[in-house]
Amino acid sequence: MVNLNKFFKGYLSKLDQSISEISVKKLTAASTLLRNTIKKGRTIYVCGNGGSAAIANHYVCDFLKYFRQRTKFKPKIISLSNSIETITAISNDIDYKDIFKYQLESLYKNGDILIIISSSGNSKNVKEVLNFTNKKKIKTIGFSGFKGGFLNKNSSILSSCECTKLWDCGRLSSYFDAYFITIFD
């Protein structure tokens, strides 16, 4: 059985270390890109798999409400991970690797951006949507862990948490939340 006090102190210590390593330059670049996208009335898309999909959907909820309450802007933010009907239709009739790319091909307009949340950065559907965004010169913001993989090498702006073990996913989720809150504050 894990000693709760020891675990909690270790968790906070590692989280504090991860957050203190966030690049202020990347924070500023991400924040500027998002604010400019909103000011121009363009759409922010967000996606992720599994727990990252839950984080993506949470971002939509918080971000939409947060900006409307604190500014004169009405941001457009849409999760590509939200519609189970669309995701299962694409994965069943086309291919699971296309669930994000296929939606973005239909929805994207010039000046829109995509936020991708991925623990590994190497999921096939993440690779496909990144290949599409790079081909179309769509700006992307990536949040990743475990060195970032393909997402690290192919997103416009990346924030990567150096989580190296599978059980670090909880800390990774906390890192994503801290990063996201910071760029919108």
Residues of the chain with pLDDT below 50 are 166-167
Q: Using one digit for the tens of pLDDT, what is the confidence trace for 49-88?
A: 998 898 889 888 888 887 788 888 889 999 999 999 999 9
pLDDT at 145: 74
The pLDDT of residue 67 is 78
Q: What pTM was computed for the model? A: 0.85
118: closest CA among 51, 166, 185, 31? 51
- Predicted pLDDT of residue 63: 81
What region, left, alpha or beta, does residue 82 occupy, with left being phi > 0 and alpha being psi -120 to 50 degrees? Answer: alpha
The answer to whether 155 and 116 have CB atoms below 8 angstroms apart is: yes
Domains, in order of start, for the chain: 24-184 (3.40.50.10490)
Distance CA 133, CA 149 (A): 17
